[in-house]
Amino acid sequence: MERIVVKIGSSSLTSSEGGLHKPNIHFFASELAQLYKQNKQVMLVTSGAVAAGFREIGYESRPKLVYQKQAAAAVGQALLMQAYQEAFAQYGIVTAQILLTRNDFSNRKRINHALMTIEELLSQRIIPIINENDTVSTAEIILKFGDNDHLSSLVATMTKASKLVIITDMDGLYTADPRKNPDATKIERVDQISEELVQLAGGAGSAVGTGGMRSKIEAARIAMRGGVTTFIGRVQYDGELLQAVDGNGRGTYFDTSQHSLSMKKQWLGFHSTPVGTIMVDQGAVTALRERHSSLLPAGVVSCEGEFYPGDVVQVVAQDGKLIGRGVVNYASWQLKATAGLSSEEVERRVDVPRIEVIHRDEWITLS
């Protein structure tokens, strides 16, 4: 059974002044219901809690202080779920609320419990409606998810969805801002996200949302690495969500040849927090990227930070570019003493659990 994650941002659900726009809620419910009736497993990642709630509290505009955002989210989340439940009830569809934070993804046990909950809901033909838990998130986390674009990609990879649909007010990615440049042309398909492509994206597009095209491209990058095809574009008329899922939507498609990642690799690549950095030479970069080899001490140039066996570290090339992350088998002081040495020499000098600095089974390439 095909799994689809659909992400809808604040600007698509609320008015420009704030507050829920009920006709839009009902429109998207009807679009999702069409997918549901095709026997697809549907997950909805939604924004809009802060935008829905700040007018109810009495704020004149979207708040900027953290505690004000959290207060608005506490009011708005209840209004948002009520609106969704009423809209989906017309189609006989039961919905469930799931609130997640960045810390949930960082903790392997907690995110596994969240995954089991989502799996059970899907098996019971219930649509999980997922949002960030703004009322307990810190300011850093609120900004980090980027209007839930990042969250939607994490959910898509975690649940091994086949497709991620990110709905926005633009009909895809352009070579320039089409609202300002009449010569801008739309990019129909992308199979690799380059830095040049990321630079094409600008900032947030509306006063009620926090995510711009850049955060959506970053979300597509994560989804692609996890084996999830992504669509970024507009869903405005009846049947357009089906068209987007079927490959005929008004937007840009981000194709991938990658396979879905195990939960272990997902956690390592997208959720873990590195505590140190290892710089490697070009030979090691080639071995890690192209030959999928383990990292040996001979390829290490230097390291920064204090870490111990079992910690997660990031690995960079000598130009500072990120290569990937892995679970290290050395303490930082051991690695400093053995960097650049042959495996035989390392075995004579230090006592480590295994000779590989990072074993390939504990590694994920990120570039």
pLDDT, mean over the chain: 89
159 or 101, higher pLDDT: 159
Q: How many CB atoms lie within 10 A of CB 136?
A: 13
Which residues of the chain are in CATH 2.30.130.10 domains?
A: 273-365
264 or 288, higher pLDDT: 288
102 is in an annotated binding site: no
Phi, psi dihedral angles at 127 (to 5 degrees): -90, 115
The answer on pLDDT for 128 being more than 80 is: yes
Highest mean pLDDT out of 14-18, 212-216, 310-314 = 310-314
Which residues of the chain are in CATH 3.40.1160.10 domains?
A: 3-264
The answer on pLDDT for 141 being more than 50 is: no
CA distance 47 to 224: 22
The answer on pLDDT for 140 being more than 50 is: no
47 is in an annotated binding site: yes
171 is in an annotated binding site: no
- Identify the pLDDT of residue 237: 95
Sequence-separated (6 or more) residues with CB below 8 Å from residue 195 = none
Amino acid at 291: R
- Identify the pLDDT of residue 143: 41
256 is in an annotated binding site: no
CA distance 28 to 242: 11
Helix (H, G, I), strand (E, B) or coil at 244: helix
**CA torsion through residues 219, 221, 223, 226, sign:** negative
The answer on pLDDT for 266 being more than 60 is: yes
Q: pLDDT band at residue 317, thresholds of 50, 70 and 90? A: very high
- Identify the pLDDT of residue 136: 67
Give 28-92 as a 3 state SS string.
HHHHHHHHHHCCCEEEEEECCHHHHHHHHHCCCCCCCCHHHHHHHHHHHHHHHHHHHHHHHHCCC
**In this predicted structure, which of 39-43, 180-184, 200-204 has the lowest mean pLDDT?**
200-204
Q: pLDDT band at residue 147, thresholds of 50, 70 and 90? A: low
Instruction: Locate 41 and state its tokens.
Output: 């497993």
List, for residues 45-86, the tens digit of each pLDDT value.
998 898 899 989 989 888 888 889 889 999 999 999 999 999
215 is in an annotated binding site: yes
**In this predicted structure, which of 44-58, 97-111, 192-206, 347-361 has the lowest mean pLDDT?**
192-206
319 is in an annotated binding site: no
- Identify the pLDDT of residue 242: 97
User: What's the CATH architecture for 273-365?
Assistant: Roll (2.30)
Return the residue matching tokens 């090691």: 284
**CA torsion through residues 154, 159, 162, 164, sign:** negative
DSSP 267: I
Instruction: Locate 249 and state its tokens.
Output: 């939507």
Instruction: Locate 132 and state its tokens.
Output: 């960030």
138 is in an annotated binding site: no
Return the residue matching tokens 């990058």: 221
- Identify the pLDDT of residue 146: 54
134 is in an annotated binding site: yes
- Identify the pLDDT of residue 199: 79
Q: pLDDT band at residue 107, thresholds of 50, 70 and 90? A: confident
CA distance 6 to 160: 14
The answer on pLDDT for 208 being more than 50 is: no
- Identify the pLDDT of residue 309: 95
Residue 164 burial by Cβ neighbours in a 10 Å radius (0-12, 13-18, 19+): buried
351 or 298, higher pLDDT: 298
270 or 187, higher pLDDT: 187
Helices H / strands E in the chain, number of each: 15, 15
What integer is the mean pLDDT of 270-289?
94
The answer on pLDDT for 206 being more than 70 is: no
212 is in an annotated binding site: yes
Instruction: Locate 238 and state its tokens.
Output: 């009846």
Q: In the chain, what's the furthest Cα-to-Cα distance? A: 72
For the chain, percent of residues with pLDDT exceeding 90? 64
List, for residues 233-256, the tens digit of each pLDDT value.
999 999 999 999 999 999 999 999
- Identify the pLDDT of residue 142: 42
List, for residues 115-124, the tens digit of each pLDDT value.
999 999 999 9
Helix axes 149-158, 213-225, angle to 10 degrees: 10
Sequence-separated (6 or more) residues with CB below 8 Å from residue 244 = 165, 231, 233, 235, 250, 251
**In this predicted structure, which of 21-25, 34-38, 210-214 has the lowest mean pLDDT?**
210-214
Which candidate, 282, 352, 296, places its Cα nearest to that of 326?
296
160 or 202, higher pLDDT: 160
**In this predicted structure, which of 56-65, 142-151, 261-270, 297-306 has the lowest mean pLDDT?**
142-151
Amino acid at 62: R
Which candidate, 356, 213, 365, places its Cα nearest to that of 297?
356
Superfamily for the 3-264 domain = Acetylglutamate kinase-like (3.40.1160.10)
